[in-house]
Amino acid sequence: MDRIVPVILAGGTGSRLWPVSRSYYPKQFHKLLGPHSFLQATLLRAAQVSPVAPILVCNEEHRFLVAEQCRAVDVAWDQLILEPEGRNSAPAIALAAWHAVAENPDAVLLVMPSDHLISDEAAFTEAVREAAEGACEGGLVTFGVTPECAETGYGYIQVADPDKGLQAVAQFVEKPNEELAEKYLAAGNYMWNSGMFVLGAQTYLDELALHNEAMARTTREAMANASRDMDFLRPGKSFLDSPADSIDYAVMERTRRAQVVPVNFGWNDIGSWAAIWDQSSRDEQGNHLLGDVVAVDTSNSYINAGHRLIGTIGVDNMVVVETTDAVLVADQSRVQDVKEIVRQLAVGERSEHLYHSEVFRPWGSYEGIAEGNRYQVKCIKVNPGASLSLQLHHHRSEHWIVVKGAARVTREDEVFTLGENESTYIPRGSKHRLENPGRLPLELIEVQVGPYLGEDDIERFEDVYGR
Amino acid sequence: MDRIVPVILAGGTGSRLWPVSRSYYPKQFHKLLGPHSFLQATLLRAAQVSPVAPILVCNEEHRFLVAEQCRAVDVAWDQLILEPEGRNSAPAIALAAWHAVAENPDAVLLVMPSDHLISDEAAFTEAVREAAEGACEGGLVTFGVTPECAETGYGYIQVADPDKGLQAVAQFVEKPNEELAEKYLAAGNYMWNSGMFVLGAQTYLDELALHNEAMARTTREAMANASRDMDFLRPGKSFLDSPADSIDYAVMERTRRAQVVPVNFGWNDIGSWAAIWDQSSRDEQGNHLLGDVVAVDTSNSYINAGHRLIGTIGVDNMVVVETTDAVLVADQSRVQDVKEIVRQLAVGERSEHLYHSEVFRPWGSYEGIAEGNRYQVKCIKVNPGASLSLQLHHHRSEHWIVVKGAARVTREDEVFTLGENESTYIPRGSKHRLENPGRLPLELIEVQVGPYLGEDDIERFEDVYGR
């Protein structure tokens, strides 16, 4: 298995898990089931299958999140490829493939989305082994999941014999309507298309060149001109010229090399809050209650109180999810439509589908805790050893009160240290920098005062994170 | 009508309207329907009926709230009687009656709870006029509301002829079960007991002496020993020795003077969120949406987003009420059980049934906006001209940043002024005072740091509010 290079696609916005999942901190980075995020669970699963360090592909704006989550589970992230914009799965896999063949022409890629769940890891490992044999023989191998219900949300793969292992794909079929889905389920030889693949890197690139020459060429040029920026690999600009398409449409449905391993390893794409409820432990009333919940006569419901008390009465078959700035109340049968709320927020040019109140930065995080006319209050957390950029603001002054740890403050020509219960003032227009020189997290309260308080009122002079 | 003295009972905790209604800021003070609170609407209704200034009875801890709400609608509050503890309605009315007869032995009391709604004010005025005639002849007159449904939550009054006006009460009957309620509704001569009364003050006291001598005596002594504290009347200590009972049990069901005016003036005791929904304007889907709500396929629901975004999907016949620290999700048919949540909070020795995040004080308000280990952050608002007490804290230091208006700060021997975007520091153990000397509201951010941050770490030296 040491030719197998895990490729983890960490894009995606997970809009159906709003309000927990948002564009700048989506589903794959959240710990909704157990101690690891979906990305971390995927990284650990990959490590069980192959000793080779993974290649990760993610959006530019998630780079520090991915790096931090890799670090936390002790997985190397020096092969983290940043997409300036998403172009769907086929180009993302192509970037990884070009990178892999440059290292090892015989590399076999195990392509995994970062936001799926697999409950039977042993069966998964065995299935990957079987798929890898096909890939070594020139197959582009997908996994076909034995369907549990007449799901209309997935594409299907028709196979000749569901009880046989590795075999040629008979046919890919689109997401069906309910009637068709029932037929597929009854027929027994239609499998869910899981979106995971085992592919010879060179075979994939050859087939891509055959079926989508522009995609193969632009991604090759992009990786040939890739630059290294700290821990990150930035593809060249030609990536933006790549057509956008899924691997299914761009390659799998066209190639004659498509193979499938029918599997039954407890796959779930966690496509909705109902799936989260389904995968969670439940009490005698069928509830999963998380956080501070007082539930009276409540049943078959998922209640997630992130920050505040939730009281429920006479609630059945519902999802209630509470975050600092938004609350979702939905019938379990309608949770797919959470994306409709997200759509409406986007149309309204709002921000609750993009950002959380707590915004993560490479140096730590900040959270808005109050705002008023001409002022706002933030709680700023700086990791030990971390440093914000040397910066100034044209429209606001800042008051800093250290409430935990120690801060080193640069203010124009002065450099001084503040301990707990000490404060300072950064006048409008002063060059300043905040650092945590200590071994403990630094926490401070910042009160900003001025006529304009947008994040974009910042002039950066030096930044250790290359921003 | 100038013998009529309105008596407004402003006690009550309104626990079925949690989380908006809480012990220290209950239902009657909230503006849930229209521009006035239920108390203010009651004050204005009283003013329509009688030119005489009202007597108010409220709990000690609500005195500044009542005074402020009276001030806002230009009603005098110099006859505000403070109960150190509630003893139910009969003793409260007795306090008002003793106070009234001392001024005018012929006073006729119009007793109204402060948290009911009356939609037909003209019919109300006419009914009071009719009731007052009975009261002047020595009757203790109640209003019997023509029932709209087989309600089990109210007591009933049996009358001889529902189409006649003022008449003797045939019988008071307890809250019925559903079967009985249906019978009462069908019979047509059973009225809802509204809890409003028109009584000769002296007649009431005479009947009380007859049927509950201890209550009459202790309340008389309490008012004889009442002291005036600023705008407030504090009954003497003997009030605490009064038996607790409702006017119905203590007097109305025992007296031979009970009379009733059958009425139909759109009375509603706003006993639940379903009643609020019922009294609110509704859109085509039958929803009343308040605040920041994105409702997808939502119907027949009351959604109140006090501070945050609420998204709903596939929700029917529900109540969702959001406040800074708690969210209620309840089926409309189960809203009576909100009090069960409140009960569980009380059993758990929590505070969300007692206080809101924003706590009102005679000088303004404060609201906790963040808390952590050894620190908390508050937003403090001080009314123009108002002043906090001269105080010190043994366990915490305070950082103050003025974000709006101007502050006069006393710190030990210094007195100085802070403007917008200026800050100061109050070290642990320093005597200090905060005042708003200006004409505009003062707003400041306070960061408290210390090992103990409870409100009870306060030593007061001088207080203009006599606390």
pLDDT value at position B13?
Answer: 86
- With respect to residue A274, please indicate whether it lies within any of the assigned structural domains: no
- Give residue-wise pLDDT tens across range B381-437: 999 999 999 999 999 999 999 999 999 999 999 999 999 999 999 999 999 999 999
Classify residue A443: in a domain, yes or no.
Answer: yes
A429, A316: one domain: no
Residue B43 to residue B452: CA distance in whole angstroms: 42
Nearest to A443 among B333, B372, B443 (CB): B372
Is B300 in the same domain as B253?
no
Question: What tokens appear for B275 in the block?
Answer: 């009643």
Residues of chain A found within 8 Å of residue B272, distances taken between Cβ atoms:
none
CA quadruple A262, A267, A271, A272: dihedral, nearest 10: 140
CATH code of residue B146: 3.90.550.10
Minimal C-alpha gap between B114 and chain A (Å):
27
- B3 to chain A, any CB pair closer than 8 A? The answer is no
In a domain, A385, yes or no: yes
B445 and A370 in contact by Cβ < 8 A? yes
Closest CA to A407 of A398, B370, A356: A398
pTM for this predicted structure = 0.91
How far is the alpha carbon of B425 from chain A, nearest alpha carbon, in Å? 9
| In a shared domain, residues A98 and A50 | yes
A309 contacts B315? CB cut-off 8 A: no
Q: How far is A316 from chain B (nearest CA, A)?
A: 9
- The answer to the question of residue B306 being in a domain is yes
Quick: pLDDT tens for B91-133. Answer: 999 999 999 999 999 999 999 999 999 999 999 999 999 999 9
Same domain, A256 and A291: no
ipTM value: 0.90
List chain B residues with CB under 8 Å of A449. Answer: 401, 403, 420-421
Interface of B with A in 370-409 (CB under 8 A): 370, 372-375, 377, 379, 397, 399, 401, 403-404
Can you tell me the distance from the alpha carbon of A240 to that of B398, in angstroms, rounded to the nearest whole number? 53
Q: Do A313 and B334 touch (CB under 8 A)?
A: yes
Inter-chain CB proximity A311 and B326 less than 8 Å = yes
Q: Which residues of B touch A405 (CB under 8 A)?
A: none
Residue window 15-74, chain B: list those with CB within 8 Å of chain A: 18-19
Put simply, whether A447 touches B (Cβ < 8 Å) is yes
Among A312, A325, A404, the residue with its CB nearest the CB of B372 is A404
Helices (H) and strands (E) in chain B, counts: 10, 28
Local confidence pLDDT in tens for the 467 residues of chain A: 678 999 999 988 899 999 999 999 999 999 999 899 999 999 999 999 999 999 999 999 999 899 999 999 999 999 999 999 999 999 999 999 999 999 999 999 999 999 999 999 999 999 999 999 999 999 999 999 999 999 998 999 999 999 999 999 999 998 999 999 999 999 999 999 999 999 999 999 999 999 999 999 999 999 999 999 888 999 999 999 999 999 999 999 999 999 999 999 999 999 999 999 999 999 999 999 999 999 999 999 999 999 899 999 999 999 999 999 999 999 999 999 999 999 999 999 998 999 888 888 889 999 999 888 999 999 999 999 999 999 999 999 999 999 999 999 999 999 999 999 999 999 999 999 999 999 999 999 999 999 999 989 999 998 888 77
Same structural domain for residues A201 and A324?
A: no
A278 is a domain residue: no
Q: Is A106 on the interface with B (CB under 8 A)?
A: no
How many whole angstroms separate alpha carbon A20 and alpha carbon A26? 8
Same domain, B369 and B286: no
Choosing among A309, A343, A418, which should be mutated to test the B contact, i.e. which has the most B CBs within 10 A? A309
User: Which residue of B421, B423, B453 to mutate against A (max A Cβ within 10 Å)?
Assistant: B421
The SS3 call for residue B445 is: strand
B269–A contact, CB cutoff 8 A: no
| Contacts with A327 from chain B: Cβ below 8 Å | 305, 308-311, 320, 322, 327
Q: Do B327 and A327 touch (CB under 8 A)?
A: yes
Tell me if chain B has a CB within 8 Å of the CB of A251: no
Q: Confidence band (pLDDT; 50, 70, 90) for B180?
A: very high
Given the structure tokens 């706003």, which residue do they identify?
A: B270
Q: Judge if B364 and B285 occupy the same domain.
A: no
* pLDDT 10s digits, A371-398: 889 999 999 999 999 999 999 999 999 9
Structural domain ending residue among the three candidates B301, B327, B347 = B347
Which of B347, B367, B393 corresponds to the end of one domain? Answer: B347
* B352 lies in some domain: no
Nearest to B339 by CA among B16, B11, B14: B16
Q: Which residue of A has its CA nearest to B376?
A: A403
What is the total count of domains within chain A? 3
A345: chain B residues, CB-CB within 8 Å: 294
User: Closest Cα of chain A to B328: distance in Å?
Assistant: 5
Smallest Cα distance from A309 to chain B, Å: 5
Q: How far apart are CA A268 and CA A266, in angstroms?
A: 7
- A contacts of B423 (beta carbons < 8 Å): 399, 423, 425, 447
Q: Does residue A306 contact residue A21 with C-beta atoms inside 8 Å?
A: no
Is A277 a domain residue? no
Residues 328-357 of A with CB under 8 A from B: 328-331, 333-335, 337-338, 340-341, 344-345, 352
Q: Looking at the structure, tell me whether residues B342 and B362 fall in a common domain.
A: no
Nearest to B313 among A313, A337, A374 (CB): A337
Q: A331: number of CA atoms within 13 Å, CB side?
A: 14
Instruction: Say whether B13 sits in a helix, a strand or coil.
Output: coil
A185 with A67, same domain: the answer is yes
* B423 to A423: CB separation less than 8 angstroms, yes or no: yes
| CATH number, domain containing residue B415 | 2.60.120.10
CB contact under 8 A, B379 and A399: no
Contact (CB<8Å) A403/B449: yes
274-313 in chain A: CB under 8 A from chain B: 294, 296-297, 305, 308-313
Taking an 8 Å cut-off on Cβ atoms, the answer to whether B403 and A313 are in contact is: no
Task: Find the closest chain B residue to A335 by CA distance.
Answer: B313
CA angle A106, A109, A115 (to 5 degrees): 170
Angle between helices A213-224 and A89-103 (to 10 degrees): 50
The closest of B405, B452, B459 to B432, measured between CA atoms, is B459
What is the phi/psi pair of residue A58, to 5°? -145, 170
Q: Are residues B307 and B425 both part of a single domain? A: no
Nearest CA in chain A to B304: A327
Helix (H, G, I), strand (E, B) or coil at B335: helix
Q: Could you say which of A331, A423, A443 has the minimum Cβ distance to residue B399?
A: A423
Dmax of chain B from CA atoms? Answer: 76
> B65 exposed, middle or buried (CB, 10 Å; 0-12, 13-18, 19+)?
buried
Interface test with B, best of A313, A322, A430, A440 (most B CBs within 10 A): A313
Spell B230-256 as b/e; 16+ CB within 10 A means b: ebbbbbbebbeebeebbbbebbbbbbe
Is B1 a residue whose pLDDT tops 70?
A: no
Within-domain flag for A287: yes
Q: Shortest CB distance from B329 goes to which of A320, A340, A377?
A: A320
Verify whether the Cβ–Cβ distance B344 to A296 is below 8 Å: yes
- How many percent of chain B have pLDDT more than 70? 100
User: Could you tell me if B130 and B166 are in contact, meaning their C-beta atoms sit under 8 angstroms apart?
Assistant: yes
Per CB-CB distance under 8 Å, the chain B contacts of A19 are 309, 311
Using CB atoms, pick whichever of B334, B445, B450 lies closest to residue A447: B445
Residues of A in contact with B375 (CB under 8 A): 403-404, 445
Q: Which of A239, A268, A297 is the last residue of a domain?
A: A268
- CA-nearest residue of chain A to B330? A313
Instruction: With beta carbons less than 8 A apart as the criterion, state whether A28 and A114 touch.
Output: yes
Each residue's pLDDT tens digit, B25-59: 999 999 999 899 999 999 999 999 999 999 999 99
- Contact yes or no for A297 and B335 at CB 8 A: no
Q: Which residues of A touch B335 (CB under 8 A)?
A: 313
Q: Nearest 5°: phi and psi at A206? A: -65, -45
Confidence category of residue B2, pLDDT binned at 50, 70, 90: confident
Among B324, B341, B445, beta carbon nearest to A311: B341
Answer whether A374 sits within 8 Å of B331, measured CB to CB: no
Which residues of A are less than 8 Å from B310 in CB distance?
326-329
Domain that holds residue B13: 4-268
Q: How many CB pairs under 8 A join A and B?
A: 185
> Is A331 found in the same domain as A261?
no
DSSP symbol at B344: H
Query: Do residue A204 and residue A330 come from a single domain?
Result: no
User: CA–CA separation, A262 vs A247, rounded Å?
Assistant: 19
